[in-house]
């Protein structure tokens, strides 16, 4: 029997290793023929079968996964420098205007060129101009062949494997798509996804991005597609390149066709027939700009009739039939008065520029983020120059930019205005709050204080996090009370919050002194704004009894909220919920993680508790290590012990209906599911109250196995775990 015909479960280690080598070479050759030569020699079904067998063998023998494995790449291999792609139709730029008069002049130019009267209506589409990265997607016979960046307009970078990771980009088109279709659009990142990415990266000491566009561009240009997979990229389709047969005769019709083929198009696009209507739509979008959830920098108008587009043609590197009506830039010029350091709750030293007040986009700006010491020095995360290597110094005149509610950033330094006494700024090697050493570990972009729980800044930040809305949600506590109570010596750890009732007299006395000081300051203050600010601060310290009552209301707390409130590195709300669903009770989580032993060397998988922790869906090695470190630190355990004496951590309730046959059970999905994706399967199981694990153990209740199931199926047999197929799953849950 040929190895390729032998069941995967019957392969020996040596046979598996031999076949993986053969499959890697064979699939790579087929990729080369398909992507580089456009001359495939096997059918799609045959190709898919090869990849499925490769995956099945790797599932059973994960230790044999090769560095050149087809499972680690999609399409042709990404080289150290991206392969270049010549656009069949150039990707040219748009002309732009910043005024309503410019829009009217554009319409007049179109009429003059086409020799139309001033009364002739020219329908145009108006769509938001997404601030992202342009991408061209080439489909042949409905299948994505390659994806390329704009580049210089004629030659772009091949980013096909990365583009395949974006959920908005279909690998195969729906419906009656032309044999050849190049769809063009914008890769972008939503504000909430961008903030979460920067939060995760900041806590992990990785690169943080200046804005969503940079994040999207950097993510799409990763050499390792697995990194792009972790980045929440999205795509709007709005144009086309080469098309073998046009599916519509208008711009608007093409967008409708893109939707039929499986693409997302911007829902704010409109078909309008007058300059007045275009301007009105522009104003409407501008008013909604801050609430869209993604960055736009204007509105693009395009002549709708494709025949007229052809007649209008191009001038230089821009089409005559389109123009971008840009928003006024939210930028300003000011002076850096000082550079301060804030210490985050995980010990990160975060530099902040204190600015001479300047109005940008209708808002008075006095602070700007400086990201990290490299950014201040004029370097990116890889040590390459940014701003042409210009560093930022106290006294510098700088260009700042504000985007929505995001803290402003410094774009550039005006060197010709730099004062003679300006000195380069250097990150201190000691924490400004506690004096402990501040170190920057290899591979990290940030410097951290090593003071831990003895660092006052970290202690206060941890308390602020603990009482915040998405954690314990203690009403009325806020940042001012956290700092105030710490300064008064009434609060050192989160556990102290629940003993404040015992110190009520001392607390009320401290609050009275604080209010007296505020009243005196208000008497001496000049200016209505300053007086109002002091009066508002006074109100924040009035209701001591209300604060104590709010604390009492939080003596019962849901499992996930409590874990999130602890401020464990890498454990945000999502991971806290995952842990709660898996372990059900905080006691179970603490006991299991306290006993977890990570791998001690190559080939060591760690003990059972470590494997169980890593089996929690979405919890990887980095998060697992952070959890183990937290529950092994005596100071942390002391705080947790004190907290659990004061509060009751409620067990996690099953999320599914009581009648669900899988409620409370641990389920593992393995193999190639055919009726649903792995994500859909997980979501369904969790809705029914089940816990989904990534590995099989003695605690597993059920394994759902599809074609190609390997090592997990064998483990299920060894542990005596029930195994059903996909049809059996749907029968079981009654779907």
The catalytically annotated residue of 6, 81, 129, 645 is 129
Q: In which region does residue 432 sit, left (phi positive, over 0), alpha (psi from -120 to 50) or beta (all else)?
A: alpha
Q: Which of 314, 298, 341 is nearest to 103 (CA)?
A: 298
Segment (H or E) for 24: helix 13-31
Q: Which of 422, 429, 496 is nearest to 459 (CA)?
A: 496
Q: CA–CA separation, 382 vs 428, rounded Å?
A: 21
Please say if 129 is a catalytic residue.
yes
Query: SS3 of 84, please?
Result: strand
- Yes or no: say if 393 and 420 are a contact pair by the CB < 8 Å rule: no
Place of tokens 């700042």: 400
Helix axes 275-288, 100-114, angle to 10 degrees: 140
Return the sign of the alpha-carbon dihedral for residues 520, 523, 527, 528: positive
Ordered strands of the 666-670 beta sheet: 691-693, 666-670, 702-705, 722-724
Segment (H or E) for 713: helix 711-719
Q: CA–CA separation, 449 vs 455, rounded Å?
A: 8
Place of tokens 């508002």: 536
- Please spell the DSSP secondary structure of 285-323, one letter per residue: HHHHGGGSSS-EEEEEEEESBHHHHHHH-EETTEETTEE
Q: CA–CA separation, 212 vs 194, rounded Å?
A: 6
- Please spell the DSSP secondary structure of 500-529, one letter per residue: GGGGHHHHHHHHHHHHHHHHHHHHH--SHH
Tallying the residues shown for the chain, one arrives at 735
Coarse DSSP helix, strand, coil percentages of the chain, rounded to the nearest 5 percent: 40, 20, 35
CA atoms within 13 A on the CB side of 223: 4
Catalytic amino acids? 129
């Amino acid at each position: 029997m040929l190895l390729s015909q032998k069941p995967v479960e019957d392969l020996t280690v040596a046979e598996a290793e031999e076949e993986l080598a053969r499959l890697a070479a064979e699939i790579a050759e087929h990729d080369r023929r398909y992507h580089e030569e456009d001359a495939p020699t096997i059918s799609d079904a045959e190709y898919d079968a090869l990849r499925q067998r490769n995956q099945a063998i790797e599932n059973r023998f994960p230790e044999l996964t090769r560095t050149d494995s087809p499972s680690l790449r999609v399409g042709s291999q990404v080289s150290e420098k991206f392969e270049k792609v010549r656009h069949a139709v150039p990707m040219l730029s748009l002309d732009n205007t910043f005024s309503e008069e410019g829009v009217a002049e554009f319409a007049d130019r179109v009429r003059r060129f086409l020799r139309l009267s001033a009364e002739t209506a020219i329908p145009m589409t108006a769509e938001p101009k997404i601030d992202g990265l342009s991408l061209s997607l080439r489909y042949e016979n409905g299948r994505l062949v390659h994806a390329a960046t704009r580049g210089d307009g004629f030659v772009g970078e091949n980013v096909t494997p990365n583009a395949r990771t974006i959920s908005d980009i279909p690998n195969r088109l729906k419906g009656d798509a032309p044999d050849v279709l190049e769809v063009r659009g914008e890769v972008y990142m939503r504000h909430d996804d961008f903030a979460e990415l920067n939060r995760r990266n900041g806590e992990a000491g990785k690169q943080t991005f200046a804005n969503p566009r940079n994040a999207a561009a950097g993510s799409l240009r990763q050499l390792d597609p697995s990194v792009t997979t972790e980045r929440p990229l999205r795509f709007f389709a709005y144009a086309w390149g080469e098309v073998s047969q046009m599916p519509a005769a208008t711009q608007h019709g093409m967008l409708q066709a893109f939707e039929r083929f499986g693409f997302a198009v911007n829902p704010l696009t409109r078909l309008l027939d007058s300059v007045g209507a275009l301007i009105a739509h522009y104003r409407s979008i501008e008013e909604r700009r801050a609430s869209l959830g993604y960055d736009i920098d204007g509105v693009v108008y395009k002549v709708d009739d494709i025949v007229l587009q052809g007649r209008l043609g191009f001038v230089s590197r821009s089409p005559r039939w389109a123009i971008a009506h840009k928003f006024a830039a939210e930028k300003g010029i000011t002076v850096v008065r000082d550079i301060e350091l804030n210490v985050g709750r995980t010990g990160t030293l975060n530099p902040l520029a204190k600015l001479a007040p300047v109005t940008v986009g209708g808002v008075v700006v006095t602070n700007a983020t400086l990201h990290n010491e490299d950014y201040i020095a004029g370097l990116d995360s890889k040590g390459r120059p940014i701003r042409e290597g210009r560093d930022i110094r106290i006294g510098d005149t700088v260009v700042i930019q504000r985007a929505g509610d995001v803290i402003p950033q410094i774009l550039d330094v005006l060197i010709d205005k730099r004062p003679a006494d300006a000195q380069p700024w250097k990150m201190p090697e000691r924490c400004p709050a506690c004096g402990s050493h501040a170190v920057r570990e290899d591979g990290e972009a940030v410097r951290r204080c090593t003071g831990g729980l003895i660092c006052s800044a970290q202690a206060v930040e941890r308390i602020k996090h603990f009482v915040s809305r998405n954690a314990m949600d203690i009403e009325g506590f806020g940042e001012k009370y956290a700092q105030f109570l710490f300064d008064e010596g009434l609060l050192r750890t989160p556990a102290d919050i629940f003993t404040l009732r015992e110190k009520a007299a001392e607390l009320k006395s401290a609050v009275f002194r604080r209010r007296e000081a505020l009243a005196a300051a208000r008497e001496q203050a000049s200016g209505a704004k300053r007086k109002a600010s002091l009066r508002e601060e006074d109100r924040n310290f009035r209701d001591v009894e209300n604060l104590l009552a709010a604390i009492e209301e939080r003596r019962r707390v849901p499992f996930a909220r409590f874990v999130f409130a602890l401020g464990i590195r890498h454990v945000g709300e999502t991971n806290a919920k995952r842990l709660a669903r898996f372990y059900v009770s905080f006691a179970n989580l603490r006991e299991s993680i306290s006993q977890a032993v990570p791998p001690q060397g190559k080939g060591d998988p760690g003990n059972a508790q470590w494997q169980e922790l890593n089996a929690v869906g979405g919890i990887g090695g980095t998060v697992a290590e952070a959890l183990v470190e937290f529950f092994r630190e005596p100071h942390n355990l002391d705080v947790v012990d004190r907290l659990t004496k004061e509060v009751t951590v409620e067990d996690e309730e099953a999320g599914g209906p009581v009648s669900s046959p899988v409620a409370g059970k641990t389920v593992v999905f393995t193999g190639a599911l055919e009726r649903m994706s792995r994500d859909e399967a997980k979501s369904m199981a969790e809705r029914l109250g089940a816990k989904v694990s990534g590995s099989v153990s003695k605690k597993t209740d059920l394994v759902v196995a599809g074609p190609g199931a390997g090592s997990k199926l064998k483990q299920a047999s060894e542990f005596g775990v029930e195994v059903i197929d996909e049809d059996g799953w749907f029968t079981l849950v009654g779907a």
